Amino acid sequence: MTEREIDQKQTGSEVKTFPVPFALENITIITSNPSKEELIKKAFKFHSQGKISEAAKYYQDFIDQGFTDHRVFSNYGVILQDIGELKEAELYTRKAIEIKPDFPEAYLNLGNILQGLGKLKEAEISTRKAIELNPHFAAAHSNLGGILRDLGNLQEAEASTRKAIELNPHFAE
């Protein structure tokens, strides 16, 4: 008796072989899941190239495999925001903040998402947190100016906008 037959007898399983009606040379077989580093590298590469649907697939695969990285959750949240999935974007962005509470970009992104959801006071709080973490974050000052304008606080909105321009003259528009 062969070793395979002994294993089959002990486990009570049976192996059946079926003919395969196609040439194997045309099939790609994946033998293992990509590593955490490979997934991040590919996701970031596709995202930076503007290949958003490919990047989203890698971000989602990364998350589905149980990996955690604040940048992945934040970037995936931005993609979801861009396609109008604001509630889901909020969840992923909050997860990025949970993983790395001192990540100002995530607070800025959350502020943008909350503004899109019409939660202006929460958007203000989140955007102010981004500024607290990085006082020289011109985009956060600019976004805070827009939120404050929407809240009717025009003087403070102007001050925030002027601060953004002071930090980065490209915000002059």
Dihedral, 66, 67, 68, 73 alpha carbons, nearest 10:
-80
Evaluate whether 46 touches 58 at the Cβ level (below 8 Å): yes
List, for residues 28-41, the tens digit of each pLDDT value: 444 567 889 999 99
List, for residues 71-100, the tens digit of each pLDDT value: 999 999 999 999 999 999 999 999 999 999
- The two tokens of residue 20 are 């395969």
List, for residues 100-124, the tens digit of each pLDDT value: 999 999 999 999 999 999 999 999 9
